[in-house]
Amino acid sequence: MRPFSTFSLKPFLLASPSDLETIKRIFLKLSRKYHPDMVQGDKEKILAEERSAALNADFSIMKNPEELLEKILSESDPSVSAVAVGRRGPPPALSADYFELLEWIEENEGKASVVQKKMEDFRSVVRKKLTEAQERLFAAMAKFPFQGEGTSTMKPWTNLDLKNFQSLYEDLKYMKSFLRDIEAKQGSMKHAHSN
């Protein structure tokens, strides 16, 4: 299972900084081995370029726990998809707060400073919830730490674990989306009032 098989690593979900250094050393060794400039012939160069591209992509994924989890979830059994675990949208309470804020912004459009304050309060709440959700997700992922080199096709996690990860990860994605939206609205309001 990629990205682990690319590096001959046992599947994991969370790597410490020192584990990432180990992965980086493996990456650099493989990068030298499969570098397109190290081979002769057109076909060999093409294969080396493909291997090198896969190696870079897989290393990028393994450095970022959320990207690694997203990759694993995308390739997992369909029974752990967001729809299968009963999730079809953002956390209901957060959604309600978000849409109430949007209505309130429309109703108070002419009161820029009051609207900015209300939006900043919402951002603070979402940031706090986002941090808490990330901590819960990383605590769950920490149950599957980096185990070093080896070839194992066995995944240490179960579908139940993946369903839990899927739910936590969906919450994170929606919270980040709400934050980006509010930040964009704040930016456009500041820009409109500065003209």
Q: Are 116 and 189 in contact (CB under 8 A)?
A: yes
pLDDT above 70 (res 17): yes
- Tens of pLDDT along 62-82? 999 989 998 888 887 766 655
pLDDT of residue 178: 92
DSSP letter at 81 equals: S
Q: Are 41 and 47 in contact (CB under 8 A)?
A: no
pLDDT above 70 (res 48): yes
From residue 98, give the alpha-carbon distance in Å to each of 129, 162, 177, 182.
13, 28, 11, 9
| Residue 118 burial (C-beta neighbours within 10 Å; 0-12, 13-18, 19+) | middle
pLDDT of residue 74: 83
- Tens of pLDDT along 116-133? 899 999 999 999 999 999
Domain count, the chain: 1
Look at 76-90, 110-124, 151-165 and tell me which has the smallest mean pLDDT.
76-90
- Tens of pLDDT along 132-141? 999 999 999 9
Percentage of residues of the chain with pLDDT beyond 90: 37
Is omega for the bond preceding 3 within 30 degrees of 0, making it cis? yes
pLDDT of residue 80: 62
Q: Is 29 helix (H, G, I), strand (E, B) or coil?
A: helix
Report the C-alpha gap between 77 and 69 in whole angstroms.
14
CA angle (111, 113, 116) in 5-degree steps: 105
Mean confidence (pLDDT) of the chain: 86
pLDDT above 70 (res 90): yes
In order, the DSSP letters of 5-24 are HHHTB---SB--HHHHHHHH
The boundaries of the domain holding residue 157 are 1-195
Question: What residues are paired with 145 via a beta bridge?
Answer: 14
List of E strands, 10-158:
none
pLDDT above 70 (res 46): yes
Q: Are 56 and 63 in contact (CB under 8 A)?
A: no
- How many CB atoms lie under 10 A from the CB of residue 59? 20
End-to-end CA distance of the chain: 54
Report the C-alpha gap between 19 and 16 in whole angstroms.
5
